[in-house]
Amino acid sequence: MAESRTYDIVIIGSGAGGGTVAQALAPMVAQGLKILVLERGPRLDDHEFTGREAEMAPALYADEGGFLTADGTMTLAMGRVYGGSTVVYTGTSLVAPERVIRSWCVPGLEHADLERRCEQFMAANHVHYLPRVLLNENNKRFFTGAHRCGYKPEQFPVNLRGCKGSSLCNLGCPNGAKMGTHRVQLPDAERQGVEVVTRAEVLRLEERAVQLRVSARPEGGKGRPSEWAPGDYHVSARLVVSCGGSIGTSALLLRSPVTAGIPGLGEGFTCHPALILVGEHDHPITNDVGHPKSYFVDRAVADGFVLETCMYFPFVTAKNLTSFGPEHSALMQAFPRLQMILVLACDKAVKENRITVDKSGKPVVHYTFTPAVRRSLVAATRASARIFFAAGAKRVHSPLSEPTLIERGDAYRMDDLIREDYFLPGRVSIAAAHLMGGCAMGTGARAVTDARGRVRGVPWLRVADASLFPDSLEINPYLTIMALADRVAEGIRQDWGSIS
């Protein structure tokens, strides 16, 4: 028998969207409202962030970071923890390009308004440029190589406070330096009286209510026990705000009979499919020390891709190198000499790419690499190889060639060696961390919400996370998600009289 509880507002998820809504609505607690955040992941204490790959990936990521698309050809990374994906993000903080927001054609959504809100979050998250003395050679070589190739490398603003340069951002910062909702919005909301319950997975939405299950802390696992006793709960609320992320929110609405029939639900999934590329230098370079992501080259308009510096951990690196055997091992042995680039394709929302649920209500993500995405990834791989060689690398690992290693002497044949026919999904490791769409904003027949996240035909339900994006953002998305969530919260405050 489920235990019943009553709140005024229930927020599902505590990531970029949920944490932001919680903070923005928190002042309503002083007016007597009861606000609850339900997060399916655990709440970790600072000392539990060890930076060790084998421990942190299972503790922080859904499916340990190995969630696969339906045909098994792409891995999707999403946080499952107090703070959501903001705990594992790298903290690069960019404002959405005006052209993208204009192309979304969402009436009532103005770029200037988003920009203003982004600036507020940039100030709150201490966004700034790292001084050059703190940039490592992995980043500096990218800058040099890109510059020599005629690209325009730009520095990422990052949201850090007291960064020690441990390079472990995607395993959760062990120094508490990276500003995510777990460090900024959620603690502030809790101080104001918002209640956060972790290890609490919402199974289903009902009319003005949610059904959820609180799990016990697994033996030996990281994180505190839940704030509530393990078991099933039925929580009534005047308003529910779903912030479970693109996949979490879409799946929740799809498996809930009260919302499952909404046209357009689950459609328009995009994710910036990404490849990790590696160049090998003669001498060790600083790569596993220093913040990993300092520069990018934006070729979204011209070529449909963005290149970013990156540095991953041994298993993630090994997994993302294509193929296996002695060549693969030799490259791994060269770890201190590796330079890395992350290549992101700016994919577009298409009919085939969507989120559904299986019989048990679990999300299934259907994703096909369109010809445009394939072409972008090939062009991006060639561009990265040029950058590596221009930066002094002696050989480059390309997932889109066979053999996968290209020697410096063969650099002039790059276009022949890196080819689209080697783009073999299932062989090449493709991963994505910018999960977007599924509950698109807009006014069209397939739009799930309006520009304030109000779900069509369901007056007690709002959406405030990356699922709102009608198409991909073509740049790192967290600031835009926070800005959109802030707009949704503002709409709730304005509408509260009629809601209550």
Partner 1 sequence: MSGLVLPQIRATFRAVAATVVPETAALDADGWARLEAEVERALRSRPERMVRQLVLFARVLEVASLFTDRTRFSRLVPAARHRVLKSLELSRLVLLRRGVWGLRTLVLLGYYTQAEVQSRIGYRAHVDGWSARRTSGEHAATPTDN
Ligand X SMILES: Cc1cc2nc3c(=O)[nH]c(=O)nc-3n(C[C@H](O)[C@H](O)[C@H](O)COP(=O)(O)OP(=O)(O)OC[C@H]3O[C@@H](n4cnc5c(N)ncnc54)[C@H](O)[C@@H]3O)c2cc1C
Q: Name the segment binding partner 1 (CB under 8 A); options: 12-20, 46-54, 208-216, 389-397.
A: 46-54
Q: Minimum distance from CB of 171 to ligand SF4 (Å)?
A: 8
Q: For residues 453 and 462, what is the distance between their CA atoms, to the nearest angstrom?
A: 5
Q: Minimum distance from CB of 495 to partner 1 (Å)?
A: 40
3-class secondary-structure state, position 439:
coil
Q: Minimum distance from CB of 169 to ligand SF4 (Å)?
A: 4
Nearest to 299 by CA among 225, 374, 421, 383: 383
Which residue among 52, 102, 191, 493 contacts partner 1 (CB under 8 A)?
Answer: 52
Spell out the residues 6+ positions from residue 241 whose beta carbon is closer than 8 angstroms to its own.
Answer: 9, 10, 11, 12, 18, 21, 453, 461, 462, 463, 464, 488, 492
Site membership for partner 1, residue 160 (CB under 8 A): yes
Residues of span 291-320 touching ligand SF4 by CB under 6 A: 291
- The option from partner 1, ligand X, ligand SF4, none interacting with 362 (CB < 5 to 8 A, set by class) reads partner 1
Residue 104 token pair: 């979304």
Q: For residues 99 and 103, what is the distance between their CA atoms, to the nearest angstrom?
A: 6
CA distances from 436 to 62, 76, 237, 394, 471 (A): 16, 11, 27, 37, 7
Q: For residues 160 and 382, what is the distance between their CA atoms, to the nearest angstrom?
A: 32
Residue 220 token pair: 């030996």
Which residue among 50, 144, 155, 166 contacts ligand SF4 (CB under 6 A)?
Answer: 166
Site membership for ligand X, residue 465 (CB under 6 A): yes
Kind plus residue range of the DSSP H or E element containing 278:
strand 274-280
Q: Binding residues for ligand X, how many (CB under 6 A)?
A: 41
Q: Mask of contacts with partner 1, 310-329, x by CB under 8 A?
A: ---xxx-xxx---xxxx-xx
- The option from ligand X, partner 1, ligand SF4, none interacting with 178 (CB < 5 to 8 A, set by class) reads ligand SF4
Site membership for ligand SF4, residue 163 (CB under 6 A): yes
Q: Name the segment binding ligand SF4 (CB under 6 A); options: 57-65, 167-175, 182-190, 217-225.
A: 167-175
Site membership for ligand X, residue 477 (CB under 6 A): yes
Residues of span 383-402 touching ligand SF4 by CB under 6 A: none
State the DSSP code for 160. B
Of residues 179 and 473, the one with the C-beta less far from partner 1: 179
Which residue among 33, 88, 168, 321 contacts ligand X (CB under 6 A)?
Answer: 88
Q: For residues 250 and 255, what is the distance between their CA atoms, to the nearest angstrom?
A: 9
SS (H, E, C) 181-200: CCCCHHHHHHHCCCEEECCE
Q: For residues 329 and 66, what is the distance between their CA atoms, to the nearest angstrom?
A: 22
Residues of span 173-212 touching ligand SF4 by CB under 6 A: 173, 175, 177-178
Q: Mutual orientation of helices 478-499 and 16-25 as an angle, nearest 10°? A: 40
Q: Minimum distance from CB of 94 to ligand X (Å)?
A: 7
Q: Minimum distance from CB of 341 to ligand X (Å)?
A: 15
Of residues 175 and 356, the one with the C-beta less far from partner 1: 175
Q: Mask of contacts with ligand SF4, 336-365, x by CB under 6 A?
A: ------------------------------
Of residues 244 and 491, the one with the C-beta less far from ligand X: 244
Of residues 56 and 62, the one with the C-beta less far from ligand SF4: 56
Give me the count of residues in the chain: 500
Residue 290 token pair: 């220093």
Q: Name the segment binding ligand SF4 (CB under 6 A); options: 161-169, 183-191, 267-275, 459-467.
A: 161-169
Are 200 and 39 contacting, i.e. CB atoms less than 8 angstroms apart? yes
Q: Minimum distance from CB of 122 to ligand SF4 (Å)?
A: 16
**Rg of the chain over all Cα atoms, to the nearest angstrom:** 22
Q: Minimum distance from CB of 88 to ligand SF4 (Å)?
A: 10
Are 296 and 373 contacting, i.e. CB atoms less than 8 angstroms apart? no
Which residue among 20, 85, 167, 320 contacts ligand SF4 (CB under 6 A)?
Answer: 167
Residue 52 token pair: 């060790």
Residues of span 238-297 touching ligand X by CB under 6 A: 243-246, 248, 252
Q: For residues 55 and 76, what is the distance between their CA atoms, to the nearest angstrom?
A: 19
Of residues 132 and 362, the one with the C-beta less far from ligand X: 362
Of residues 164 and 208, the one with the C-beta less far from partner 1: 164
Are 440 and 106 contacting, i.e. CB atoms less than 8 angstroms apart? no
215, with CB counted inside 10 A (0-12, 13-18, 19+), is middle
Nearest to 141 by CA among 276, 275, 322, 337: 337
Chain residues in the site for ligand X (CB under 6 A): 12-18, 38-41, 77-81, 84-86, 88-92, 170, 201-202, 243-246, 248, 252, 433-434, 465-466, 476-478, 481
